[in-house]
Amino acid sequence: MKEIERRAFLKGVGWLVVTLGILPRLGVKAMGDEIPFAFLGDSLEKTPGLDAWLLLAQDGTVVAFTGKAELGQGIKTALAQIVADELTLPIGRIRIITADTALTPDEGYTVGSLSVHQSGTALRKAAATARAILIKLAAKRLKVPTSNLVLQEGMVIKKGEDGGLPYISLLEGGRFLARVNPDIPTQPFGAYRSVGQSVPREDLEDIVSGSKRYVHDIELPGMLYGAVVRPPGYGRRLLKLDEEGFGKECSNVRLVRNGSFLGVIAKDTCGAFQAAACLERYAIFSEPRKLPKEEAIEETLRTLKSKTSLVARRGRVEARELKAARMLEATFFKSYQAHASIAPSAAVALYENGRYRVWTHSQGVFPLRKDLAKVLRIKEEGLRLSHVEGPGCYGHNGADDVALDACLLARAVPGKPLKVLWSRSDEFAWEPFGTAMEVRLRACLDAGGRVSVWRSDVWTGSHATRPGIGKKDETSLIASHAIEQSLKREPVFDPGGGERNALPLYAFEALEIKKHLILEPPLRVSALRSLGAMANVFAIESFMDMLALEAQKDPVAFRIEHLKDERAVALILRLAKAVKWSHPGRKTGLGVGFSFARYKNAAAYVAVVVWVSVNEKTRQIRVQRVVAGVDPGLAINPGGVRNQAEGGIVQALSMALKERVRFEKDGIQSLDWQTYPILGIEESPKVRVFVWGEPQAPSVGVGEALMGPTTAALANAVFDATGVRPFRLPIGTHSNPFGL
């Protein structure tokens, strides 16, 4: 199907393929979020054909294909910069096509701040391979050595001469069956013209002007609109439906029923929502699965069935504990939290001639296609999914689920495009939340005030219930469990989620890290921005401040004393100098906090300083200022790095201060912005981000890297201001103002 779709795509725009024919793909080695960082990535192994990555248009425009999705992180601009520099072209002559199962390589999920590392590396190598091919072809035509030729502004020219051969002229009438050479030399840093520059995002004008660019904005001829009615609580089945009564009251809509799956189809969105509200009154569901008390969830978490695994162990832990001069213990907790995307999820589907066309803001169109095929009981080739931007996801929200909703409803109206918009309450009630987590830490100090032993026990739900993971009869999609031919829920597992950043970067000689994966979580959970790193870094960096205080040392100096990573030390010292760091002294109501981490111990280095004020009477916390230093290796677009860091800081503050899923035994109670408040514009602090990259180091993502360090620096600042240590997130709830 892909080759047919690509040929139609090319024919429609008159583009010539750089190297024709998509070569066979190799097997998937690992989940996109869990590929070892030093590994090139599985992108080129799965899709080695050059034509799968680059096309050359007749007008000299280069079209680059990426399996990664534009989620608001500016990846289209960054990738265009990479391709432009390798082919010596202005960035305006690069067009990026993102995540489409008929057009682009399969790069799994857009997760883990890995897009630049994975897709950027693949496209850099693809462009470098194309450059070598163009030079070789030009050398043959001009009858000169390749060493005498260079690429310049879309031309291959002889060194020291004007004019040359346009790229497209070298390919006319030719076919090149070539693979991307993963070992080919790429342009040296000194040759970059776009990479390293703060190029404005190509979509910025549309976003600022409010242009229609999102999946919610799609309007197609003859479009219909759907809405889904779900039971008011987990685990409930449809017992009875008064179809006759509903039909009399809502005669102008179509009812779709499949087992316990209920939906309506109308001529407009308003009609669909009204009909769904009406249908709720005629449906009787079974009793819900009882949830534990929210107030007791921390204690409940440890009693739930779990699987314990050893994450890391080194040194003589028990022996060193016996010789320790002092020992500290602390327990930290993070509540269930929602993605809180500003707009609810949406999708558009068209069912025609036994095939489905789906427009979705999923983070993984290929894995989602796999699960949709399971549920719809068709071959994957019968589905084409195209990514269209959505409202921001920050992890696994409802985008995948609403795509299945749209397919199930579209099947009832063949030939008619159908759009499904979730309501705000749909999103808050049914999205997979970021799991609650508890982190128990114990550390020993020797006589010199250095950490001699470190122990960590992490209780966590899964951070990985995305589509494409389970067996042929398993999926996490909500509607798949409600339809008559239902599928099983995929078994709980958590590769690299709950233990993310549980292993400190600090050079402790003896340590032990254990993860306790909860096998039957009370709420639906999956990936939320930074996965387990937010809770783990919050705990580790809060505990490092406690240990520094116990050792009577400056918290910044204490961290440096335990680091052997030179880039980490350099970043910390640079930020400390920039903010004129001095030992905090607990001024009444005013405080400053510091934190550091390297995301996944393999990606961006981040150090953060937060200043807060705390009202003595109301205990209201106000973040006054945040300054962060980021080392992302080679910063493809420093302005984009700053934007990502600033967004991560603000979201981390919102989650740390306010965000908590509220629930009672019958179901989720936080269903709107009043019951699930987020940080307002008027509450946002002044933020400054320094980008101190290492040009010779690999480029790494930044978007998720700020979550943990910002949260921990905030907690340390609150302690500095009040003398009260926050141990639970969110910190700023009314019943628990400091997260005690």
pLDDT, tens only, 563-602: 999 999 999 999 999 999 987 666 678 999 999 999 999 9
When pLDDT is cut at 50, 70 and 90, the band that residue 173 belongs to is very low
When pLDDT is cut at 50, 70 and 90, the band that residue 207 belongs to is confident
What's the CATH class of domain 216-287+342-428? Answer: alpha beta
Which residue would you say has higher pLDDT here, 395 or 736?
395
The pLDDT of 15-39, averaged and rounded, is: 30
pLDDT at 679: 95
Residue 737 pLDDT > 70 = no
Terminal Cα distance for the chain, rounded: 57
Residue 175 pLDDT > 60 = no
Of the chain, the percentage scoring pLDDT greater than 90 comes to 76
Residue 433 pLDDT > 60 = yes
* C-alpha to C-alpha distance for 541 and 559, rounded to whole angstroms: 9
pLDDT at 586: 65
Looking at domain 2-202, its CATH architecture is 2-Layer Sandwich (3.30)
Residue 174 pLDDT > 50 = no
The pLDDT of 548-553, averaged and rounded, is: 96
Closest CA to 93 of 49, 125, 63, 71: 63
pLDDT at 14: 46
When pLDDT is cut at 50, 70 and 90, the band that residue 176 belongs to is low
pLDDT at 177: 65
Mean pLDDT estimate for the chain: 90
Domain 434-463+498-729 listed as CATH 3.40.50.720: no
When pLDDT is cut at 50, 70 and 90, the band that residue 626 belongs to is very high
Asked if 364 contacts 108 with a C-beta cutoff of 8 angstroms, the reply is yes
Residue 676 pLDDT > 80 = yes
pLDDT at 518: 96
Domain boundaries, the chain: 2-202, 216-287+342-428, 434-463+498-729
* Cβ-Cβ contacts under 8 Å for 492 (sequence gap 6 or more): 461, 462, 465, 517, 518, 519, 520, 521
pLDDT at 184: 94
Residue burial 491-520, b: 16+ Cβ < 10 Å; e: rest: ebebebbbbbbbbbbbebebbbbbbbbbee
2-202 and 434-463+498-729 share one fold: yes
Which residue would you say has higher pLDDT here, 36 or 299?
299
Which residue would you say has higher pLDDT here, 648 or 173?
648
pLDDT at 39: 32
Q: Give the count of beta carbons closer than 10 Å to the beta carbon of residue 432.
A: 26
When pLDDT is cut at 50, 70 and 90, the band that residue 490 belongs to is confident
The pLDDT of 27-44, averaged and rounded, is: 39
Which residue would you say has higher pLDDT here, 86 or 172?
86
Residue 740 pLDDT > 70 = no
pTM of the model: 0.92
Token pair in block for residue 615: 């009202």
Closest CA to 599 of 30, 33, 42: 33
Of the chain, the percentage scoring pLDDT greater than 70 comes to 92
pLDDT at 573: 98
Min mean pLDDT across 52-56, 256-260, 508-512, 574-578 is at 52-56
